[in-house]
Amino acid sequence: MTANSPTASSPAATPPAAEIALRPAEMHIYKPTDPATAIVSKSELCTVSKKAAGFVRHIEFDVSGTNLVGRAIPGQSIGVIPPGTDANGKPHKLRLYSLASPSGGETGDGTRLSTTVKRVIDEHWESHALFTGVCSNYLCNLKVGDTVKLAGPSGKRFVLPSTISDHDYIFFATGTGIAPFRGMLLDILRSGAASKVALIMGTPYSSDLLYHNDMLDLAAKHPNFTYLPTISRERNDGPKGPGTLGKLYVQDRLTANAEQLGAMLRSPRALIYICGIAGMELGIFQQLATTLSGSDRDQYLTATAEVMANTKGWERNQLHRDIHLSKRIFLEVYS
């Protein structure tokens, strides 16, 4: 990758990358007003360490006997309707959770969907009293055998392309943003495609990594899959051994692993998927704009020369208005 020249001028018009045919995704098979009833078939912590600061659970739903069997794909979300009413006495609203399961579900027959849920636990911003999110804690408290109301699935733009083998994939995840990539990765690896896949998984501490041992196993078995756990508050393991790289955010991998990721990015096969905490995308776009140049950069994002000259000053509200993403970037972020 080469440094971005501030004088390079890219048109802020339609990006050059062509439309990418995506896997067809069925939507809204169940509406929130008439949800499916599923049964919790598994619930386990999926942080690598039980000492992690947060609580994140891998939860599986048995959807046998419903119309969801075999009809939800990775990249889609499922709606969960928590029981009870809110402070205004109205029924709780549905919350969305990304599917973590591959296309055939956890058992291959489409009957077991899964997701990855982080308990929202905090001090209330104003009162300082304990604040517990309604749906995440409801879900994480459920036991195997309990029933749960599901709607959806929803989302049809954050899915894999219809021909998996036509592309290579760079997945950027933070926290539970790894959920859709777990399913997508399993779909890609099981398809037998020679596609290269890099998963850049960001967490504050190494104890917070999710599905870490599964990812290490998959990377050991599949030479086309590179797993890059990326820790922002501890040193990261580098080519020269444990702890040889400084603290990194997900976008820093574009320079720390420039040789491998740069070669992938410069190829017309690469697609970038980003999922996790809202705001994570800006740093990735800034880093893409500074480490790529010319037509390599235009494959992903374009802006006027003036905007490109000021990547450090980019703000989120400039996305789509001043900074135009190509069809090769897929984004799903939430707060």
For ligand FAD, the binding residues (CB under 6 A) are 77, 95-98, 115-118, 120, 122, 124-125, 131, 133-137, 176, 179, 332, 334-335
**Residue 25 CB, nearest approach to ligand FAD (Å):** 13
Q: Which two tokens stand for residue 310?
A: 């000021």
Q: Which of 162, 187, 182, 157 is nearest to 171 (CA)?
A: 182
For ligand FAD, give the closer residue by CB, 89 or 125.
125
With CB atoms as reference, the residue minimizing the distance to ligand FAD is 133
One DSSP character per residue, 90-137 reads PBPPPEEEEB-S-TTTTTSSS-EEEEEEE--EEE-TTT-SEEE-HHHH
For ligand FAD, give the closer residue by CB, 33 or 335.
335
For ligand FAD, give the closer residue by CB, 15 or 102.
102
For ligand FAD, give the closer residue by CB, 122 or 166.
122
Q: Residue 222 carries which side chain, given as an amino acid letter? A: H
**Residue 133 CB, nearest approach to ligand FAD (Å):** 2
**Residue 114 CB, nearest approach to ligand FAD (Å):** 10
Q: What is the largest CA-CA distance in the chain?
A: 62
**Residue 327 CB, nearest approach to ligand FAD (Å):** 20
Q: Are 48 and 212 in contact (CB under 8 A)?
A: yes
**Residue 178 CB, nearest approach to ligand FAD (Å):** 9
257 exposure class (CB count in 10 Å sphere: 0-12, 13-18, 19+) = buried
For ligand FAD, give the closer residue by CB, 125 or 259.
125
